[in-house]
Structure 1
Amino acid sequence: MSTESSQLFRDLMASVCTPVSVVTTVDGDRPHGTTVSAFASLSIDPPMVLVALDRASALLALVREHRMLGLNILSSEQAPLAATFARKGDDKFDGVEWTLRAGVPHITGAAGWLAGEVSNLVAGGDHVVALVRVLELATGDGPPLTYHNRTFGTHSVLADRR
Structure 2
Amino acid sequence: MPNPTSTTDPASQEPAGTELEELQAVFRNAMAGVATPVSVVTALKDGKAHGTTVSAFASLSMNPPMVMVALDRSSDLLSILRETGAYGVNLLGHEHSQWASAFAKKGSDKFNGIPWAVDTGLPRLPGAAWVACSVESLVDGGDHVIALGSVLKVDLGDDKPLTYCQRTFGTHAPNPG
Normalised TM-score (structure 2) = 0.89
Q: Deviations over 1:123-161 (max 9, x none)?
A: 00000001100001110121000000100000001101x
Residue in structure 1 matching 2:50, options 32, 37, 44: 32
Residue 38 of structure 1 aligns with an amino acid whose one-letter code is A
The equivalent residue for 2:97 is: 79
The equivalent residue for 2:71 is: 53
Q: Please report how far the alpha carbon of residue 61 of structure 1 lies from its aligned counterpart in structure 2 after TM superposition.
A: 0.3
The equivalent residue for 1:152 is: 169
The equivalent residue for 2:127 is: 109
Identity of aligned residues (%): 52
Number of positions where the alignment pairs a residue of Structure 1 with one of Structure 2: 159
Structure 2 Cα separation of the partners of residues 140 and 11 of structure 1: 30
Residue in structure 2 matching 1:18, options 31, 36, 40: 36
Indicate whether 1:118 and 2:135 are aligned. yes
Residue 157 of structure 2 aligns with an amino acid whose one-letter code is G
Residue 65 of structure 1 aligns with an amino acid whose one-letter code is E
Q: Please report how far the alpha carbon of residue 95 of structure 1 lies from its aligned counterpart in structure 2 after TM superposition.
A: 1.1
Residue in structure 1 matching 2:159, options 121, 125, 142: 142
Q: Please report how far the alpha carbon of residue 80 of structure 1 lies from its aligned counterpart in structure 2 after TM superposition.
A: 0.4
Runs of 4+ in structure 1 displaced over 4 angstroms? none
Structure 2 regions of 5+ residues with no counterpart?
Answer: 1-14
The equivalent residue for 2:10 is: none
Larger radius of gyration: 2
Structure 1 regions of 5+ residues with no counterpart?
Answer: none
Q: Secondary structure at the match of 2:131?
A: strand
The equivalent residue for 1:88 is: 106
Structure 1 Cα separation of the partners of residues 65 and 92 of structure 2: 20
Which of the two has greater helix per residue? 2
The equivalent residue for 2:5 is: none
Structure 2 Cα separation of the partners of residues 108 and 20 of structure 1: 15
Q: Deviations over 1:11-61 (max 9, x none)?
A: 011110000000000111100000000010000011000110000000000
Structure showing greater relative contact order (alpha-carbon pairs closer than 8 Å, 6 or more residues apart): 1
RMSD of the TM alignment (CA)? 0.6
Normalised TM-score (structure 1) = 0.97
Residue 120 of structure 1 aligns with an amino acid whose one-letter code is S
